[in-house]
Amino acid sequence: MTTARELQFKSINYTGASAGPRLIVTGAVHGNETCGTKAILRVMEEIDSGALHVAAGSVTFVPVTNPLAYALNQRSGERNLNRNLFPNPQPGDFEDRVANWLCPLLAQHDVLLDLHSFNAQSQPFVMVGPRNNDGALQPFRHAEQERALARRLGVRRFVDGWLATYGQGVQRRLKSGDASTLDLVLRYGMGTTEYMRSTGGYALTLECGQHLDPAAPGVAYRAIVNTLAFLGLIDAPRPEPIALDQMEALSMVVVHDKLDAGDQFSRVWSSFDPVSTGDQIGTRADGTPVLAEFDGKILFPDVNAGPNSEWYYLTRANTDFERFTE
């Protein structure tokens, strides 16, 4: 039986002879999402063999970000590492200890590529951050660079709006209106990419496919090599962006909660299933139908959600994504 005390953290850095961006690539933030780990090890083998050469800047690889979850082959060790990701001077669980190592490491870099996978069969997609803003929730100034990189990863679907939509749900659940409590709970929505942006960098979460899809490690590998090339870290042609007419950009708009254990979906939903205004998504425990309030696509439906927690998100087409991708 693996115990936390037996584990250690590992990162590997390659630095070129010329100046350039500092990239960090992470895998297995969730222990059962191993496509990133496999892809990172493949890229490192090619660098070590000379097939790839880091000529400028630096890249740090973290093949296994959460070694306890990875050893257990499950999403989390003691909690979800990709929530409430902050250094903790009094760590209470293993993921706090990961954060105390990982957060300073992230802050030493300019760009993060975080590699994940998901439960249901669907196309790979990339989660991007907010537009440039000076707001209190997630101030940001690298939207153009982040979205330009997103278009070079080799996938065609892009989703934004995570933290703002999550925050709307938090405000609704709190009801108390206590701003200090709100700030505390909003921290739960902060993961690797949000923390990276808070340090002044930019970051992308690439969902490479279903956990066991044999193609997912290849999606992750292509994204790593394309990122290295696009940022000028390796001697390779810069990849062309996906054409605007081939990409699908979506914004998360609203999160709906499961209010009672008896709330049920009307069918088995998968992320990116389309819905039209008035379509029935589920039924409340008292028989009230849950209907789609606009045309869009469902995201992160959770049949195992508990009462007063996230049940599903709705997205709609983002018609101005391309304005922030040059």
Helix and strand element counts for the chain (H, E): 8, 14
Instruction: Quote the pLDDT of residue 135.
Output: 85
> Half-sphere exposure (CA, 13 Å, Cβ side) for 238?
8
Mean pLDDT on 214-235: 98
Q: pLDDT per residue over 281-314, tens digit each?
A: 999 999 999 999 999 999 989 888 888 888 999 9
DSSP β-bridge partners for residue 315:
252, 297
* Mean pLDDT, the chain, whole residue set: 92
* 268 pLDDT above the threshold of 90: yes
CA 111, CA 60: separation in Å to the nearest integer? 10
DSSP states along 276-300: -TT-EEEE-TTS-EEE-SSSEEEE-
Q: How confident is residue 1, by pLDDT bands cut at 50, 70 and 90? A: low
Question: Does 57 or 176 have the greater pLDDT score?
Answer: 57
Q: pLDDT per residue over 237-251, tens digit each?
A: 999 999 989 999 999
Q: How confident is residue 321, by pLDDT bands cut at 50, 70 and 90? A: confident
**Residue 82 DSSP label:** T
* 181 pLDDT above the threshold of 70: no
Q: pLDDT per residue over 64-79, tens digit each?
A: 999 999 999 999 999 9
* 158 pLDDT above the threshold of 70: yes
Instruction: Quote the pLDDT of residue 189.
Output: 78
**Contact between residue 135 and residue 186 where contact means Cβ atoms under 8 Å apart:** no
Mean pLDDT on 112-137: 91
Instruction: Quote the pLDDT of residue 297.
Output: 97
Instruction: Quote the pLDDT of residue 187.
Output: 64
Instruction: Quote the pLDDT of residue 174.
Output: 72
Query: Which percentage of the chain shows pLDDT scores above 90?
Result: 79
Instruction: Quote the pLDDT of residue 175.
Output: 67
CA 4, CA 53: separation in Å to the nearest integer? 35
Claim: this prediction has a pTM higher than 0.95: no
Instruction: Quote the pLDDT of residue 48.
Output: 98
Q: pLDDT per residue over 6-47, tens digit each?
A: 899 999 999 999 999 999 999 999 999 999 999 999 999 999
DSSP β-bridge partners for residue 207:
116, 125
Minimum mean pLDDT range among 116-120, 185-189, 200-204: 185-189
- Put residue 79 in one of left, alpha, beta given phi > 0 → left and psi -120 to 50 → alpha: beta
